[in-house]
A and B are shown apart, each in its own frame.
Chain A
Amino acid sequence: MAIRRGRGVAAINYPTGMNLGGDPTQALVHSTPTGNFMVTLSSVDLGQGMKQIMAQICAEMIGVPTDRVIIDTADTDTGPHCMGTFASRGTHRAGNAVIQAAKEARQVMLEVAAEELEVNASDLETDGQGNIQVKGAPQKSISIFDVALSAHFKRGRSISGRGMFLIPRSYPEKETGAMKPSTCYAHACTVAEVEVDDETGEVTVLTVKNVFEIGRALNPKMVEQQLVGGSWMGISHALYETTEPYYPNRDHGGTDFNQYLMPGPGDLAETEIIVLERPSADGPFGAKGPGEMCANPQIPAVANAVFDAVGVRIDTLPITPERILRALKAQAAG
């Protein structure tokens, strides 16, 4: 009886957005007289930080710091339509809608600034700090705050914009299955290293090294938060979780966190995250949706590592100590 070590690899891809498209999202952007910008949506922030990302996207497009953008979302009386937050679609779909809305608002803002500075709007640029300046002559500038005041009280202009993003729906061809499931795909490759106790069947995941290609890390800290959490969830899926431990038998289903197993802090592997960025053709600044795929590659990587360690294949999830011991027993029996 011994502790045996093994490692396994898995490589995957994942589609961004609702499968086969047809999932619209809209956004509205307007400035207030304070020079701050409101983004109005009906998308839902599930805790992943969607509001923050939408604020950064709008800020980049308008040319103000992110804290000058306020997100008003998830109210059907005020927010324009969004299909919902699922299918790794939030950043991609709503982000594109915010870009389009912010572009329209930015154009009005530059037109008002052009009137104030007595130049052509096409000669103006933003400095990203909340100012509009003449290209090549940055000393000739006006703050976005002053432009907002001018628009509201002097010029009678609404600095606002409308955004809409829709991937047209694809219908699978009946006989061949020809279809367009998605317009862009995120990628990952994970290497997991495990120890398996061949006496108890216990698996300890030592290290998980994940490489994720996500198009564009719009906010690297938030990308890290999502990818690390996903990686843990993948390990949990591989080794612990089920509502029906003896599926298809309906008995023994857990009803609370004492009975429904999940890893505790001490069970989590040393986790490494490496991010590559190949911008997608149609994502906001090239971003793809990594929200779902980041929890997938750990499952087969751990399964393959268990085989590498003890030489038995567990092809049924979750890979419990019971299943490993039964397989080892069967293997010993020849």
Chain B
Amino acid sequence: MELRRDYFADVRKDGLHEIGQPRPRLDSPGHVTGKTAYFADRNFPGMLHLKMVRSPHHHARIRSIDTSEAEKHPGVVRVLTAKDVPHNVYTILILIQIGPEDETVLADGKVRWKGEAVVAVLAETERAAQEAAAKVKVDYEVLPAVFDMEEALKPGAPLVNEYHGQNYYLYDSGECRKVRFGDVEAGFAKADHILEQSYQSSPIEHAPTETTGCVVAPEGNDRFTCYTNTQAMFFTLDNTSIILQMPGNKLHFVGGTVGGGFGGKVDVIVEPIAILGAKLTGRPVSFIYSREEEMQISSPRAAEKVVIKDGVMKDGRIVARKVTGYTDAGAYSRHSPYGAQKGAGHYPGPYTVPNVWIDTYCVYTNRTPSSAMRGFGVTIGDFALEVQMDKLARLIGMDPLEFRFINAYRDGDMKAHRQPTEGAALIECMQEASRAANWPVAEKYMAMSSYRKGA
């Protein structure tokens, strides 16, 4: 790594003692010698293991659940169904007033994705829990499912989630989050070229070293300590308090060093049901995802579709940009309404475009609920925007790097969401990339600056 301190040297205070120093991490010797304690290193006498019975169908009505054989299985201590969960229908962003509650802790009458939790089994050993889970009999009536976002948005598509009533999230702005800036149609009308392209991604996995999980220990005084690898301690505690209808002072969450998050540990999934199990049995409970659960059950990054229509002039100026983004939330909201909205605040990217129109949709389908992941709401948008930039440059016969200099945002430029640009540094990054990659651009671009006089 090379620190290029000649850029922006006039606005930086140097000569500090600890900041800017490459100090060795105080925790790294513990990590590399196996001494660091993670949540799963907690082991309590009498600890039970929780395993989930999961839906084998993408969409089905539950006619009946028979747990009698599972309950008789040696080592089984307790079997939990929807009726055991005090506030079974929840949504995590209710904490920041983004409803409606649309997801069940344990399925109640219906499953909406393959892998959805239906019954929880608590047993003396992981093996006994797994074997008993296989003995739970669920009678399903399979329903038509929808997997494709375009299909889901058509009239007459199977309804994924009754709590929404339609297969998209309803924002206060309507069926999508909108950004309107300038006059995009007038921009297209005067453009020398129009280019409309569609981009698509597939769901991906966070792939942390340590899978999602928690270990819960009753403290003996109606309080429960939950050792967890959540990325958000109080967010998880507060949601657990709602789901279990248990005052927050009865809950004690202990985290610490986590073996990788990447956004995959901000859903509140394992903690409430494990604490409920500990409460109902009076025993410690461990609920840890297998690698298979981590990959197919825990939320992936959403698949997204991004359609970009641009109007560009022969001289390289983008005069109009229209973006329609679709986020595949799967069967439940989790963090997806937030992610789709974040996309609306990100387009048209780090470029100054006078006429912008943005619609971002959060769409429900019968697949594993997606949620946050590193770059949430932005990563796929950047893929689409930057491939589109390459195509536009080639369309007008311009060098792709020079084309970006022409459109790059600078201090003071008004963004589509009506905030003036501050602290821009795109131009300087591109100048340095031009040098480092031996990708020469015209001298006028190397002389540009993100600063503007008076800005």
Which of A28-36, A156-164, A172-180, A325-333 interfaces with chain B? A172-180
The reply to whether A276 and B432 form a contact with Cβ atoms under 8 Å apart is yes
B275 on the interface (CB 8 Å rule)? Answer: no
The reply to whether A179 and B232 form a contact with Cβ atoms under 8 Å apart is no
Q: Mark B183-206, 1 if CB is under 8 A from A, else 0.
A: 000000000000001111111110
Report the minimum CB–CB distance from A90 to chain B (whole Å). 10
The residues of B that contact A211 with a CB separation of less than 8 Å are: 429-430, 432-433, 436
The reply to whether B386 and A297 form a contact with Cβ atoms under 8 Å apart is yes
Q: Which of A68-108 contact B (CB under 8 A)?
A: 73-77, 79, 81-87
For A67, the closest partner residue in chain B by CB is: B26
The residues of B that contact A209 with a CB separation of less than 8 Å are: 433, 436-437
Q: A299 CA to B258 CA in the complex, in Å? A: 26
The reply to whether A47 and B428 form a contact with Cβ atoms under 8 Å apart is no
With A82-B234, A177-B179 in contact, is A216–B378 under 8 Å at CB?
A: no
Q: Mark B407-424, 1 if CB is under 8 A from A, else 0.
A: 011000000111100111
Q: A216 CA to B8 CA in the complex, in Å? A: 11
The reply to whether B2 and A274 form a contact with Cβ atoms under 8 Å apart is yes
Which of A137-145, A146-154, A194-202, A251-259 interfaces with chain B? A251-259
Report the minimum CB–CB distance from B115 to chain A (whole Å). 10
Which of B123-131, B312-320, B344-352 interfaces with chain A? B344-352
B99 on the interface (CB 8 Å rule)? Answer: no
The reply to whether A296 and B375 form a contact with Cβ atoms under 8 Å apart is yes
Q: A257 CA to B209 CA in the complex, in Å? A: 11
Q: A292 CA to B16 CA in the complex, in Å? A: 27
Q: A189 CA to B387 CA in the complex, in Å? A: 13
With A66-B23, A84-B232, A260-B207 in contact, is A285–B16 under 8 Å at CB?
A: yes
Report the minimum CB–CB distance from B146 to chain A (whole Å). 9
Q: A293 CA to B342 CA in the complex, in Å? A: 14
The residues of B that contact A241 with a CB separation of less than 8 Å are: 204-205, 207
Looking at the complex, which one of B2, B202, B258 makes contact with A45 (CB distance below 8 Å)?
Answer: B258
Q: A296 CA to B201 CA in the complex, in Å? A: 13
B1 on the interface (CB 8 Å rule)? Answer: yes
The residues of A that contact B252 with a CB separation of less than 8 Å are: 75-77
B260 on the interface (CB 8 Å rule)? Answer: yes
B426 on the interface (CB 8 Å rule)? Answer: yes
Q: A181 CA to B265 CA in the complex, in Å? A: 23
Looking at the complex, which one of A57, A222, A276 makes contact with B4 (CB distance below 8 Å)?
Answer: A276
A49 on the interface (CB 8 Å rule)? Answer: yes
The reply to whether B258 and A86 form a contact with Cβ atoms under 8 Å apart is no
Looking at the complex, which one of B114, B387, B419, B424 makes contact with A250 (CB distance below 8 Å)?
Answer: B114
With A56-B21, A175-B178 in contact, is A315–B400 under 8 Å at CB?
A: no
Looking at the complex, which one of A179, A215, A216, A303 makes contact with B387 (CB distance below 8 Å)?
Answer: A303
Q: Mark A294-326, 1 if CB is under 8 A from B, else 0.
A: 011101110110010000010111100000000
Q: A125 CA to B314 CA in the complex, in Å? A: 60
The residues of B that contact A175 with a CB separation of less than 8 Å are: 173, 178, 180
Q: A276 CA to B384 CA in the complex, in Å? A: 25
The residues of A that contact B3 with a CB separation of less than 8 Å are: 217, 220, 275, 277
The reply to whether A87 and B422 form a contact with Cβ atoms under 8 Å apart is no
For B432, the closest partner residue in chain A by CB is: A211
Q: A46 CA to B261 CA in the complex, in Å? A: 6
Most buried by A among B4, B233, B346: B233
Q: A11 CA to B342 CA in the complex, in Å? A: 19
The reply to whether B7 and A242 form a contact with Cβ atoms under 8 Å apart is no
A133 on the interface (CB 8 Å rule)? Answer: no
Majority secondary structure, A binding face: loop
The reply to whether A296 and B382 form a contact with Cβ atoms under 8 Å apart is yes
B401 on the interface (CB 8 Å rule)? Answer: yes
B379 on the interface (CB 8 Å rule)? Answer: yes
Q: A85 CA to B328 CA in the complex, in Å? A: 24
Report the minimum CB–CB distance from A8 to chain B (whole Å). 7
B27 on the interface (CB 8 Å rule)? Answer: yes
B154 on the interface (CB 8 Å rule)? Answer: no
The residues of B that contact A285 with a CB separation of less than 8 Å are: 13, 16, 19-20
Most buried by A among B26, B96, B235, B262: B26
The reply to whether A85 and B344 form a contact with Cβ atoms under 8 Å apart is no
B266 on the interface (CB 8 Å rule)? Answer: yes
B253 on the interface (CB 8 Å rule)? Answer: yes
Q: A281 CA to B411 CA in the complex, in Å? A: 13
Q: A86 CA to B235 CA in the complex, in Å? A: 12
For B342, the closest partner residue in chain A by CB is: A19
The reply to whether A291 and B374 form a contact with Cβ atoms under 8 Å apart is yes
The reply to whether B295 and A52 form a contact with Cβ atoms under 8 Å apart is no
With A59-B18, A82-B234, A209-B433 in contact, is A52–B383 under 8 Å at CB?
A: no
The residues of A that contact B96 with a CB separation of less than 8 Å are: 22
B338 on the interface (CB 8 Å rule)? Answer: yes
B17 on the interface (CB 8 Å rule)? Answer: yes
The reply to whether B367 and A42 form a contact with Cβ atoms under 8 Å apart is no
Q: A216 CA to B425 CA in the complex, in Å? A: 13
B324 on the interface (CB 8 Å rule)? Answer: no
Looking at the complex, which one of B12, B200, B254, B262 makes contact with A279 (CB distance below 8 Å)?
Answer: B12
B112 on the interface (CB 8 Å rule)? Answer: no
The reply to whether A174 and B423 form a contact with Cβ atoms under 8 Å apart is no
What are 12 A-B residue pairs whose CB atoms fall within 8 Å in the complex? A15-B346, A46-B258, A56-B18, A81-B234, A82-B233, A177-B177, A182-B345, A187-B428, A190-B433, A213-B426, A220-B22, A244-B303
The residues of B with any CB-CB pair to A shorter than 8 Å are: 1-5, 7-8, 11-13, 16-28, 31, 58, 96, 114, 147-149, 172-174, 177-181, 197-205, 207, 230-235, 237, 251-263, 265-266, 291-292, 295-296, 300, 303, 328, 338, 341-342, 344-346, 349-350, 358, 365, 367-368, 372, 374-380, 382-387, 389-391, 400-401, 404, 408-409, 416-419, 422-426, 428-430, 432-433, 436-437, 439, 450
- Known pairs A179-B419, A213-B429; list 5 more (Cβ under 8 Å): A46-B257, A51-B26, A172-B345, A187-B424, A278-B12
Instruction: State the 9 A-B residue pairs at the shortest beta-carbon distance, nearest first.
Output: A84-B232, A177-B179, A128-B17, A300-B386, A181-B345, A74-B255, A191-B437, A221-B22, A10-B386
